[in-house]
Amino acid sequence: MRFFNKSRIASIILVLSLFAAGCRSQNDESLLTPKEFQQTITATKGTAIVLDVRTPEEFVKGHLDNAINIDWNAGEEAFANQLQHVPKDKPLFVYCQGGGRSAGAVIKLQNMGFTNVQELKGGWVAWNSEFGNSAPAKNWTGMTMEDFQEKLKTDKVVLVDFNAQWCAPCQKMKPFLHEMQKEMGDKLEVIFIDTDQNPDIATLFKIEALPTLMIYKGGVKEWHHLGYMSKDDLIKQVKTHY
């Protein structure tokens, strides 16, 4: 039986640690904040391709300037076919709505051999919060801040749910939020705000992740939460504001 001495084992561990750290560093460097994303695109002096991997319906509501829409949901094969003639060293800047689809697209692009791929951290939601809608759809309407303030004029506890159709946790919560509205309607009012349908108010509230939940009482915000929450936990939270 062959044995490894302690120094050799330590050397192997060191090499593996350095390799893992290098992988993490590379991934971290390719995931850029909105400001970094904008600055890096500018630095390419027009040589980069900006890929919006959302659906066409999402794209027309607002997108980054000069972005090309290639729908990731159409399938990996269709996605790859549209990029087969692009040079592998071409700088690619990828984003979706919240970051989920772009992460998958980046992995696919890297597997295809592209060597310079950057991803927008937080996607269009984060960009819109930072800079506003770069290329908004014309004649877009939605809830105004005045409309929102009017809805807060109630003696009830107001639970605000910022959501979107593409957000899986949002859709998972929606049925029991409606149940809560019905079961606790004498003391609770639930306001549903689709951030795609109401981009202006989402920008005003600097919504960077979905779902975002807020509780208001007497027109004053008393609680703020990012991410999924179970019905039981949310009911407990709401009742603390009665």
The dihedral region occupied by 86, where left means phi > 0, alpha psi between -120 and 50, and beta the remainder, is beta
Q: Residue 231 corresponds to which tokens in the numbers above?
A: 């019905």
CA–CA distance, 187 with 192 (Å, rounded to integer): 17
Burial of 165 per CB tally in 10 Å (0-12, 13-18, 19+): middle
CA–CA distance, 102 with 25 (Å, rounded to integer): 19
- ∠141-193-55 over CA atoms, to 5°? 70
Q: Which positions are catalytic? A: 167, 170
> In degrees rounded to 5, what are phi and psi of residue 228?
-65, 150
Query: Is residue 116 classed as helix, strand or coil in its secondary structure?
Result: coil
Size (the chain), residues: 242
Choose among 33, 70, 77: nearest CA to 50. 70
